[in-house]
Amino acid sequence: MTYVLSDIHGNLQRFESILAQINLQPDDTLYILGDVIDRYPDGIKILRRIMKMPNARMLIGNHEYMMLKAIGHCKDAAEEKENTNWRQRRHWYRNGGRVTHEQLKHYRKDTRADIFDFIWKLPTNIDVEVNGIKYKLVHASPEENYMTAYWYCEDYKDSREFAVWDRWDETKPVPEGYVLIFGHTPTCYFHNAYPWSIWKSDEAIGIDCGGGFEDGRLSCLRLDDMKEFYSEQ
């Protein structure tokens, strides 16, 4: 079975609620579309758990991207005092990064290095095919749109930054032959369902149901039969 979820945002209780429901088997695959960290306090704990899951694959989200830009080049807290990019750090903090940064201070240099190395290597998109349908999994937008969507990509310095930040909507293209599955933009921007729920159109599926917000929830979609799962909290 193939499962997709996104935007956990450090909420361990919601993540464990989803894992209990889907009951991953050794031949299943769980795709996590970024934004594991920030806002809630257990982002690093969840990230380290994902790193050890043999059947989990993860994309980089804008929150992991912000962390790397702020402190990803620093080996420890002492080096941060000398080399932190303060503008990037303030930006990260404004978006819920302080709680993640506080967590990192409790880990040894080698563990911290493993975490950053893992994140640096994360892709911006993954292609999967289930039941003859090709899906393009992204955090925010398809990276290939960067070179063609000249009218709105100039705010981003490169295609990787574009892929984790640009908010896809129905006015923007989907790669030909694919159904797009994305996180990043809460589904309340696409429909008025409450509690927040997965949004679907003929060519795209939004799965960020506000897992990083108090009144939201974490969602997961099983692509084999399109069954939807939602956290209890």
Q: Are 185 and 171 in contact (CB under 8 A)?
A: no
Measure Cα distances from 48 to 43, 58, 97, 157 in Å: 9, 12, 17, 29
Question: Considering only 63-72, 77-86, 112-121, 193-202, which range has the smallest mean pLDDT?
Answer: 77-86
How many domains are contained in the chain? 1
Neighbour count for residue 128 (Cβ, 10 Å): 17
CATH code where residue 182 lies: 3.60.21.10
Per-residue pLDDT band for 150 (boundaries 50, 70, 90) equals low
Question: What is the model's pLDDT at position 81?
Answer: 74
Coil, strand or helix at 145? helix
CA distance 34 to 30: 12
Q: Are 132 and 84 in contact (CB under 8 A)?
A: no
Instruction: Copy the structure tokens of residue 168.
Output: 């896809």
Q: Enumerate helices (H) and strands (E) in the chain, giving the number of each.
A: 8, 10
**Is residue 54 reached through a cis peptide bond, with omega within 30 degrees of 0 on the bond before it?**
no
**How much is the pTM?**
0.96
Length of the chain as a residue count: 233
Per-residue pLDDT band for 77 (boundaries 50, 70, 90) equals confident
Measure Cα distances from 31 to 92, 147, 202 in Å: 24, 26, 21
Q: The domain containing residue 145 runs over which residues? A: 2-230
**Strands, DSSP E only, in 163-226?**
179-182, 199-200, 204-206, 219-222
Instruction: Copy the structure tokens of residue 197.
Output: 């729920």
Question: What is the model's pLDDT at position 153?
Answer: 62
Measure Cα distances from 184 to 35, 37, 40, 74, 224 in Å: 8, 13, 16, 27, 23
Question: What is the model's pLDDT at position 155?
Answer: 78
Question: What is the model's pLDDT at position 157?
Answer: 85
* CB contact set of 40 (below 8 Å; sequence gap of 6+): 9, 10, 11, 12, 99, 212
Question: Considering only 80-84, 160-164, 193-197, 219-223, which range has the smallest mean pLDDT?
Answer: 80-84
